[in-house]
Amino acid sequence: MALKLFNTLTRSLQEFVPLDPARKNVGMYCCGPTVYDFAHIGNWRTFVFADLVRRTLEFSGYHVTHVMNITDVEDKIIKRVREQKTTLREFTGKFETAFLDDLKTLGCREPHQKPRATEHIAEIIGLIEKLVARGVAYKAADGSVYFSIEKYRGCGCGYGQLLKLNLDEMRAGERVASDEYEKESVADFALWKAYVPEDGDVTWDSPWGKGRPGWHIECSAMSIKALGETFDLHLGGEDLKFPHHEDEIAQSEGATGKPFVKFWLHGAHLLVEGKKMSKSLGNFFTLRDLLAKGFTGREVRYLLLTSHYRETFNFTLEGLSGARAALARIDECVGKLRELAGATTAAAEMRFVDQFSDALADDLNISAAWASVFEWVRETNKRIADNSLSAQDAAAALAAWEKVDSVLGIGTKAEAEAPAEIQALANARSEAKKARDFKKADAIRDELKAKGWIIEDTPKGLKLKKI
């Protein structure tokens, strides 16, 4: 089934056809983190969403080049560097490392390229020069360079491609005008920000004097460098539609005269416990906060992947606990299949895989995709229970699971090897049980539980599971 995605550019569901359909190459750019703090659960929803898009494309046979920028120069960063009396590189390096660690913890595939804004100042300046030469950018009295929406529109280019804009009705200017008063028009935005003393030594030379890049320009410069002047996919959180993505389109198309991106995908935000996340409400979580509560990255990933990307998702701790139980159900089933299959291999059972991929093809209907997973688990369990599953069948089922999991990316919990001490206790319990000393057997079971191991008596003998 052909993959359909909701393109913000056309506000409609469209079949995904890349620019290079013959070679199945896909260029995908995802707006990455501004590294001034640890990323929160809302940020992670968007990055896990981007990972799902990438994995779905790879599952569909595309060769994806995944690019994610690291914004390492920006107002908040500069402010904190100054406050903490550190250097830009030292400050941003710390959060960049944390970000990439967290990305891995969440089971996201690492982007192929992670360009930093500070390492692309030359490209950024080059792009601004093009815009100035084309007459859609101007240097203001304060030394900054701005993009002129009016001039841009004057050459027949579309501003407001991602959403309906009614510049007259908008409340633009209420707060913007106060700090960016050198602009010709309030809708104009900065391409190059002139140096101010507060910037400290965070500054670069440019044809317009010392300064630093504006926020939007880095994404245009780096995506064009990595993926070309026109590429397939650009994604980010819904809040970025305006002004960030709209401005990216304006800068890029204003400079190249070519269409910038074929497909724009935007992920919705999340609420936490039904409310907007905020530090004062105590519902503001970073991934590290959740790990500290004893949850795992794969549990968080599972939960973030339970709802459709274009719907607001309500993230709850109760849901996160539920994630553990749901994953255990899958782990149990896959574990049994492994035992049954042994060294046997087989081609994947395609009924499950097809059902799963059909769900995803429908604008990443992940809920329907999970439904196919759990229906498969139930059917598989039944077949295991009535012994109607051969090693061959089990191997085919496992192969199918592996295909499905190449998209879900939750893997399976590694079967933890019980240390000698635990094994010895388990043996002692078996002895006690055999001697029908159930009191002792139960006491040992409680002791094991206290040490973090659960014992299960199965028809095939005892099984130890790590909590």
Find the binding residues for RNA in span 220-249 (CB under 7 A): 236-244
Q: Which is nearer to RNA, 134 or 465 (CB)?
A: 465
Residue 268 interacts with RNA (CB under 7 A): yes or no: yes
Question: Residues 108, 128, 261, 326: which binds RNA (CB under 7 A)?
Answer: 326
Which of the ranges 84-92, 102-110, 169-177, 395-403 carries the binding residues for RNA, by CB under 7 A? 169-177
358 CB contacts (<8 Å, ≥6 apart)?
A: 1
Q: Which two tokens stand for residue 219?
A: 């994404």
Cα–Cα dist 118/244, whole Å: 18
Q: What does the radius of gyration of the chain's CA atoms come to, in whole angstroms?
A: 27
Provide, rounded to whole angstroms, the least separation between the CB of residue 364 and RNA: 10
Residue 325 interacts with RNA (CB under 7 A): yes or no: yes
Provide, rounded to whole angstroms, the least separation between the CB of residue 176 and RNA: 5
Which of the ranges 57-65, 204-212, 256-264, 266-274 carries the binding residues for RNA, by CB under 7 A? 266-274
Question: Residues 18, 27, 43, 410: which binds RNA (CB under 7 A)?
Answer: 43
Question: Residues 34, 56, 206, 357: which binds RNA (CB under 7 A)?
Answer: 34
176-to-171, 189, 329 alpha-carbon distances in Å: 10, 10, 52
Listed as own residue / partner, the contacts of 423-431 with beta carbons closer than 8 Å and 24 or more positions apart are 423/464, 425/451, 426/453, 426/455, 426/462, 426/464, 429/455, 429/462, 430/462
239 CB contacts (<8 Å, ≥6 apart)?
A: 269
Which of the ranges 12-20, 61-69, 110-118, 326-334 carries the binding residues for RNA, by CB under 7 A? 326-334
- Eight-state DSSP code of residue 316: -
Q: Which two tokens stand for residue 263?
A: 């497909």
Q: Which is nearer to RNA, 310 or 403 (CB)?
A: 310
Residue 183 interacts with RNA (CB under 7 A): yes or no: no
Count of Cβ atoms closer than 10 Å to residue 332 Cβ: 17
Instruction: Provide the 3-class DSSP secondary structure of residue 114.
Output: coil
Which of the ranges 97-105, 194-202, 318-326, 403-411 carries the binding residues for RNA, by CB under 7 A? 318-326
Question: Residues 82, 109, 130, 324: which binds RNA (CB under 7 A)?
Answer: 324
Site string for RNA, 347-386 (x = CB under 7 A): ---------------x--x-xx-xx-xxx-xx--xx--x-
Which of the ranges 30-38, 85-93, 121-129, 147-155 carries the binding residues for RNA, by CB under 7 A? 30-38
Contact 281, 268 (CB under 8 A): no
**Number of residues assigned to the chain:** 467
Residue 458 interacts with RNA (CB under 7 A): yes or no: yes
184 CB contacts (<8 Å, ≥6 apart)?
A: 138, 140, 146, 148, 150
- The residue written with tokens 């935007």 in the block is 266
Of 277, 202, 261, 204, nearest in space to 229 by CA: 261
- Eight-state DSSP code of residue 242: I
Q: Which is nearer to RNA, 111 or 236 (CB)?
A: 236
Question: Residues 100, 121, 271, 464: which binds RNA (CB under 7 A)?
Answer: 271
Question: Residues 316, 344, 355, 390: which binds RNA (CB under 7 A)?
Answer: 316
Which of the ranges 141-149, 204-212, 391-399, 450-458 carries the binding residues for RNA, by CB under 7 A? 450-458
Site for RNA in 275-304 (CB under 7 A): 275-277
Site for RNA in 71-130 (CB under 7 A): 75-76
318 CB contacts (<8 Å, ≥6 apart)?
A: none
# binding residues, RNA (CB under 7 A): 86
Q: Which is nearer to RNA, 205 or 442 (CB)?
A: 442
Question: Residues 45, 116, 262, 298: which binds RNA (CB under 7 A)?
Answer: 45
Provide, rounded to whole angstroms, the least separation between the CB of residue 22 and RNA: 31
